[in-house]
Amino acid sequence: MFRAEVSVVTHRGPFIQSLHDSIYHSMDESLSAYKSDMYQTLRQKIGEPSLPGEPPAYITGALAESLLHFIDIDKIGMISGGVGVRRDQRAKAYFLEFGTRKMAPRPAWRPTLEENWERYRQILAGRSGN
């Protein structure tokens, strides 16, 4: 799972609050882009089983439809966030990404992140280029 963390203390005035809001917005935009890219990755192959090494096929749509992104802010102002799946799909996503003793991996998370990392980094830096 993609995870980015930034720590900013927000009780020191309007400048810090503005900076904090900007970081939060950039993280939200970047995580939304990753979620959208994951959805597209999971819909590349519709209706037929995926081969080892390919992203999981879109057969029932349960995994793609369970994608979500989140951002949390703790008491001291640390912002953390990520892209994941609903609890009922976590084991399935893990086994597909890394494989099992009886099934070869069908990675989607890491390749999507690696292929689009520079764009996500640019969004986090405030230079979306869209």
The per-residue pLDDT for range 12-58, each reduced to its tens digit, is 567 667 777 778 888 888 888 889 999 999 888 888 889 999 999 89
The residue type found at 115 is E
Alpha helices for the chain (secondary structure H): 14-42, 62-65, 90-98, 109-124
Q: Are 93 and 63 in contact (CB under 8 A)?
A: yes
Q: What is the predicted pLDDT for the residue at 103?
A: 94
Q: What is the predicted pLDDT for the residue at 4?
A: 46
Going by C-alpha positions, the residue among 2, 21, 14, 124 that lies closest to residue 77 is 21
Q: What is the predicted pLDDT for the residue at 8?
A: 45
